[in-house]
Amino acid sequence: MDTDEPDTKLRKNLGTWDLIVFGVSVVIGAGIFTLAARTAGDMTGPSVSLAFVLAAIACGLAALCYAEFASTVPVAGSAYTYSYATFGEFIAWIIGWDLILEFAVAAAAVAKGWSIYLEQVFGLIGVELPTSFEFAGGLQFDWGAVLLVAVLCTLLALGTKLSARVSLVITLIKVFVVLLVIVVGLAYINTANYTPFIPPATEASASDTPPIEQSLLSLILGGETSTFGIFGLLAGASLVFFAFIGFDIVATTAEETRNPQKNAPRGILGSLAIVTVLYVAVALVVTGMVPYTDLATDESGTRSTLATAFAQHGINWAAAIIAVGALVGLTTVVMVLLLGQTRVLFAMSRDGLVPRGLAKTDPKRGTPTRATVLVGVVVLVAAGFFPADKLEEMVNVGTLFAFVLVSLGVIVLRRTRPDLPRGFRAPLVPLVPILAIIACLWLMLNLTALTWVRFIIWMAAGVVIYFLYGRTHSRLGQRAKAGEVAAGGEVPRGSE
């Protein structure tokens, strides 16, 4: 009923192809353009391709669960809405607070990747112009990332959006760049670069990484380091998982889809399948072109990108195309992430868990302008002042936690509401959701202990905010006060 209120209603104008383009558009982004080479050089070596496979398996299992939910509860909000329908308000708030972490921080992290390529493009035209600089107390300010976020949020707030045709063109450019990496890079592969496929683990004494920045699993099992070796591969899988962030954003658009029961599952699974094949191929090519040690972050902190391997072989024209293509492509990634964040905040606001004024949509454009402005300010600060690697790990832990709850939700909803019409049914329930939960928890354990500390602090803050504000201001809470529903969420006797 809430989705039909005139003041908070979204338009239904998306089809299957729109969703696949949407998914591929956001998933092919900073994860592959900036993360693949750096992860190989700093953490996994040539086995980064295997890390992508491990991350894809976890995403694929979770995608089946997302597809069932998107076809069953086609309402804006993605995992937040699904958790509300399954577990109730408190768990929904927890996952909504978690999604704020995922989408907003992901937008900031990708904006920083965009900034790296902007600096490379400046270099191609002979202009040495760093996109970040250091000031007071060693604090870094990334003006390139801030500029991108400010422009995109202004466009979204005004209701200006890239048309489906322009989005398709930009997506084709990104796919072309990825295919270029694969086709041109094949001729420069030296199979000797694949040995050792999993480099031996770096000794703790040779690593500058403090224990709290090792993977949690490595600490639990007594591993000395999570740089290279098996622990490095597992930690790399947890990090390159960032490259798949985005397919779940397709689920946030279910309320704006003409036939969500069919289109949403096809969009989610189709986009995930396409990018997985491309990612593994790119990882194999890049690590075959140059030794993985040449892809490591240097002492000055300069990170490798896909263009690095081509530049080392003197293929400057290809490096230039990659840099320009990535710059154009990452623009839409940040835009879609910002859009996904505003839709989650919009759904939470419509339920009253955050101020309802944020759910107000513009009568002419049908967009939640206030929510867009708020998201823009938060992302702008994160993109401007926080390191990219810390942002990426925070995104991953938040997303994996969301995947766990969505997978668990499929099992619960199958038992509590078997009568609901499901346009798509995840196969082998409860086996597939259980495997998804195990895979996601496994990847979470391979993130750093420091990331877990930050995540726990973030979630604790969310619980405090819920009990101080959300619980009493939510629509469910207001109805309980008015006697419309009982405290447990059930309709009191005599009020049916």
Q: pLDDT tens digits, residue range 249-262?
A: 666 665 566 776 67
- The confidence band for 492, taking pLDDT boundaries of 50, 70 and 90, is very low
**Phi, psi at residue 95, to the nearest 5°?**
-75, -35
More confident residue, 178 or 367: 178
Q: pLDDT tens digits, residue range 100-116?
A: 888 888 888 888 888 88
H or E element, residue 134 = strand 132-135
Mean pLDDT of the chain: 79
The domain limits of the chain are: 16-481
Distances (CA, A) of 284 to 46, 182, 184: 7, 9, 13
Distances (CA, A) of 18 to 249, 253, 351, 367: 13, 10, 28, 19
Asked if pLDDT for residue 431 goes beyond 90, the answer is yes
Residues 471-476: contacts with CB under 8 Å, at least 24 apart: 471/89, 471/90, 473/352, 473/353, 473/355, 474/89, 474/351, 474/352, 474/353, 475/2, 475/351, 475/352, 476/89, 476/351, 476/352
ω into 196 cis (within 30 of 0): yes
What would the mean pLDDT of 357-378 be, rounded to a whole number? 77
Q: Euclidean distance between the first and final Cα of the chain, in Å? A: 17
Q: Report the distance separating Cα 280 and Cα 172, nearest Å.
A: 19
CATH topology of domain 16-481: Amino acid/polyamine transporter I (1.20.1740)
Q: Best-predicted range by mean pLDDT among 84-98, 181-195, 367-381, 474-488?
A: 181-195
Of 22-26, 68-72, 362-366, give the lowest mean pLDDT range. Answer: 362-366
pTM above 0.85, yes or no: no
More confident residue, 290 or 12: 290
Of 161-175, 381-395, 426-440, 460-474, give the lowest mean pLDDT range. Answer: 161-175
Lookup: tokens for 205: 């004494």
Q: Report the distance separating Cα 413 and Cα 394, nearest Å.
A: 29
- Dihedral sign from CA coordinates of 411, 415, 416, 420: positive
Residue 159's pLDDT is what? 64
- The confidence band for 209, taking pLDDT boundaries of 50, 70 and 90, is low
More confident residue, 225 or 235: 235
- The confidence band for 1, taking pLDDT boundaries of 50, 70 and 90, is low
Q: Report the distance separating Cα 142 and Cα 383, nearest Å.
A: 7
